Structure 1
Amino acid sequence: MTWAKDWVGSSPGTHIWLLVIGITSLVIAAASEGLGQFLVHRTSSNIHELNEHPLPSLLISGFWIERPESFLLYAVMFELLHANVERWTGTARWLLTVGGAHIAATLASQELVLLAIEGHRLPRSMTHVVDIGVSYGLAAAAGVLTYRLRPPWRYGYLAGVLVFFGIPLLTGATFTDFGHAIALAMGFAAWPLTPAAAEEPPPEDGTGPADRAAGPPPEQRPESPQER
């Protein structure tokens, strides 16, 4: 099917990422309960792993999901969000946006966990909490996709995104909900990286490019009074 090949070829990063998640999901599904728990903890970007293995834990945690049965749902979300954003902005800018959001949201959310532990609002066992998944990257892609839509669809989509991520944040938010909000905000902030930022707004004076290139019209000299 040519259309499927073209679609995958136009968003290679999305589908490579999805392929890796599919493989790791199969590993979790086939592993024993003990091995599965070891893997999700070992690949988490929690406080313990960030202290012990900061760079690997930040990167690897984005290639695992805790429940393999959710893979099909994530596949749909990848096609709707990541693939469209990558096709529109290009692989490099897409990767910079979602990768940066994943890292920033992970670090910020775990800092909140650390502060809560130090303030005795969370148990110290939360330093080993399972923190893996791809949702921060999806939240960032959802933010970027806002600029892909034209009004009035943009406003309806934006309202839906804000409600989806805002309600959990306002009703008993977890550290993951804060991470989603940070990633979404970074997606919104990535507007300069989108093709929409390169589109020149129409001039306010109503002149076209040719008129502006020609310069201002010559001044009209007042006619001298004619002799009678």
Structure 2
Amino acid sequence: MAYVRSAPGTYLWLAILFVTTVALHHMTPRFEEDFLRQRSTNIDELSSDPVRVLITSAMWIDGHWLPYAVLYTVFHAPAERWLGTARWLAVCVAAHVLATLASEGALLLAIRGGAAPRSAAGTLDIGVSYALAGVVAVLAYRIAVPWRQVYLAVVALVYGVPLALSVTFTDFGHAIAVLVGLACRPLTRGRGKPWNPKETLTTLRG
């Protein structure tokens, strides 16, 4: 319980995702699709009510809730405890908003250039993965060198390989979110000494 209280924003957000996921399971497939599309950060919805959809799109997930419980505990909770709720939230918002605008902006250019159909402007686009990618990236500054480079190499593989193989607008958004997270380094200053895995292992062995 103390672990949950130390990261209130993370677990409040996770609780909201749990409730909204349960709600989705009680909707018919057709109603669910229309319902989520109205809360999507696609071009059509961003053009009409950007603030509303940027907020509501982060309250719904298209899939199972349990994996997010694991990911939030592994990444969001440590980041919130380390940075504090306000700074952690700033990273989440920056990554979610900027990656969304960048990916949808790229899609808009593709539509105007004829590389994507006009119907793509109304595609379903919800979820929390951009915020997660930003937090995963900013956590690199929590780790001491040279372990930080190892962590960053793994992050680059996780988010870079899909982008190189498929080049979807979502993968592009994830890459932007990672860059946003890395650009949030000023928010990490004064947040204590970086964690050194070697020192931790030495302490445990002693």
The question of whether the paired residues in 1 share the 8 Å contact of 2:99 and 2:130 is answered with yes
Paired amino acid for 2:68 = Y
Aligned partners of 1:144 and 1:172: how far apart in 2?
25
The question of whether the paired residues in 2 share the 8 Å contact of 1:89 and 1:195 is answered with no
Establish whether residue 114 from structure 1 lines up as the match of residue 114 from structure 2.
no
Within-5 A mapping of 1:136-147: 136-147=130-141
Within-5 A mapping of 1:1-228: 5-67=1-63, 69=64, 71-195=65-189
The question of whether the paired residues in 1 share the 8 Å contact of 2:83 and 2:191 is answered with no
Q: 1:197 deviation in Å? A: 7.0
Aligned partners of 1:98 and 1:20: how far apart in 2?
16
**Residues 60-116 of structure 1: CA deviation (Å, up to 9, x unaligned):** 10111112x2x1111111111110100000000000111111011111110011000
Paired amino acid for 2:166 = G
Aligned partners of 2:113 and 2:106: how far apart in 1?
10
The question of whether the paired residues in 2 share the 8 Å contact of 1:148 and 1:196 is answered with no
**Residues 113-170 of structure 1: CA deviation (Å, up to 9, x unaligned):** 1000001111111011111000000100011110111233222211100011011111
Percent identity between the two aligned chains:
44
Paired amino acid for 2:158 = F
Paired amino acid for 1:65 = I
The question of whether the paired residues in 1 share the 8 Å contact of 2:82 and 2:191 is answered with no
The question of whether the paired residues in 2 share the 8 Å contact of 1:101 and 1:186 is answered with yes
Aligned partners of 1:166 and 1:178: how far apart in 2?
9
Aligned partners of 2:55 and 2:122: how far apart in 1?
17
Aligned partners of 1:168 and 1:34: how far apart in 2?
30
Which blocks of at least 5 consecutive residues in structure 1 are unaligned?
200-228
Aligned partners of 1:141 and 1:43: how far apart in 2?
23
The question of whether the paired residues in 2 share the 8 Å contact of 1:101 and 1:140 is answered with yes
Which blocks of at least 5 consecutive residues in structure 2 are unaligned?
194-206
Q: 1:172 deviation in Å? A: 2.1
Paired amino acid for 2:69 = A
Query: Which protein, 1 or 2, shows the higher relative CO under an 8 Å CA cutoff with sep ≥ 6?
Result: 2
Paired amino acid for 1:96 = A
The question of whether the paired residues in 2 share the 8 Å contact of 1:146 and 1:157 is answered with yes
Aligned partners of 1:62 and 1:175: how far apart in 2?
17
Match of 1:210 in 2: none
What's the TM-score, normalizing by structure 2? 0.90
Give the root-mean-square deviation of aligned CA atoms: 1.3
